[in-house]
Amino acid sequence: MIKLWFECARGYSLPITILSWLVIFCWGLKHGGNAVNGVIALVGIACAHLATNLFDDYFDYKVLCKDENFLNSAQKCKCRLITDGTTTHKAYLLEALVLSGIACLSGAALFVLAGPAVVWLALIGALIVLGYSKFSRIGCGEIAVAIAYGPLMYEGVYYCMTKTFSFDVLLLSLAAVCPAIGVVYTHMLLDYDGDEVSHKTTLCRIIGSKEGALKGLAAIYAVGYLLLGVFAVKVNNYLLFAPYLTIPLVVSLYKGLKRDSADFYARFCQVRNLFTYFCLILSLAMI
C-alpha cells in the first residue's frame, strides 16, 4: 500500500524537495535557527509536494480521458498507474487529501512554535498545491515552482527556524530555485507531446518548439549561476562559488536532450542528479 502510494505521488521526485530544504536549513542553522522547527517544516513541505503531484495527475486525467488519442500518444508516463488499472482516479484524490491533512497539521504546529506568519505562508502554499494543474495549463507552472521552491520555501523555513525574514535569504532563494525550475522545465520538455495532446499550455509549448524550449533551459541555469555569484559576493563567502563545478553537468544534460529526449527516465535522472550535486555542494559550502 505504502509503496503504491509512493509511486502514485511520484515519490522519486521527493529528493528535490529535501535537497532544496537542506540548503536553507543549513543557512538557518548557521544563523542560530531552531533545528526542530526546520524538520517539522520539512514534513509539511514534503507532504505538500507529493499532494501537488497527485492533484496534478488527478485533474490532468479528467481532461486526458476525454481525448481518444491520449492512450496512443507519445507520452507513456502521465497518469500511467490509472490507465494501466493499477489504481483508480478516486484513490489519487484520497491520497492527496491525506497528505494535505498531514501538511496542515505540520503548519498548525509551526504556528504555535514559530508565529502567525506561518498562516500566510501556508495559504500561499495551499494555493499552489491546489492550483498547480491549472497554472501549468496556462503556462504558469514554472512560475508556481519558482515561488514554491524559491521565496516561499526559503523564507518560510528560515522564518520557522529564526522567526525572522531576510533579504539575503530572498537572494539565495532566487539563485537556488533556478536548478529546481530546471528539473520541472526538463520534465515539461519531456512531456511536450503528452501536454500537446492534453492541451496544456506549458512554457515549453508557449515557446513553440522543442529546440527553442531547450535554449530556454540553458537560460534558466545561466540566471541561477549568475545570481549565486551575486549572493556569494554579497555575503562575502567565496566558497559559495563551488556549485559552479556542476556547469559541465548542465552542458551534458543539454547535449543529451538535444540528441535524444525519448528516454524519459534517463533524462529525468540526469537533471535530478545535477540538482542533487548543486544543492549538496552549496550546503557544504555554507557549513
pLDDT of residue 83: 61
- Cα separation of 285 and 287, whole Å? 6
Asked if residues 231 and 177 have their Cβ atoms less than 8 Å apart, the reply is no
pLDDT of residue 73: 47
Q: What is the pLDDT of residues 116-143, one digit of tens each?
A: 999 999 999 888 888 877 777 776 777 8
Q: What is the pLDDT of residues 53-107, one digit of tens each?
A: 888 777 766 666 655 554 444 445 556 666 655 666 677 778 888 888 999 999 9
- Cα separation of 205 and 188, whole Å? 9
pTM of the model: 0.84
pLDDT of residue 261: 56
The alpha carbon dihedral of 256, 200, 59, 173 has a sign of: positive
Q: Angle CA(151)–CA(220)–CA(204) in degrees, nearest 5?
A: 105
Q: What is the pLDDT of residues 204-248, one digit of tens each?
A: 667 766 777 788 888 999 999 999 999 999 999 999 999 999 999
pLDDT of residue 205: 67
Residue of 19 and 81 predicted with greater confidence: 19
Q: How far apart, in Å, are the Cα atoms of 274 and each of 182, 183, 201, 229, 268?
A: 10, 9, 26, 18, 10
Q: Given 2.30.240, 3.40.5, 1.10.600, 1.10.3470, which CATH number is that of 2-286?
A: 1.10.600
Residue 261 in 3-state DSSP? coil
Q: What is the DSSP letter of 148?
A: I
pLDDT of residue 167: 95
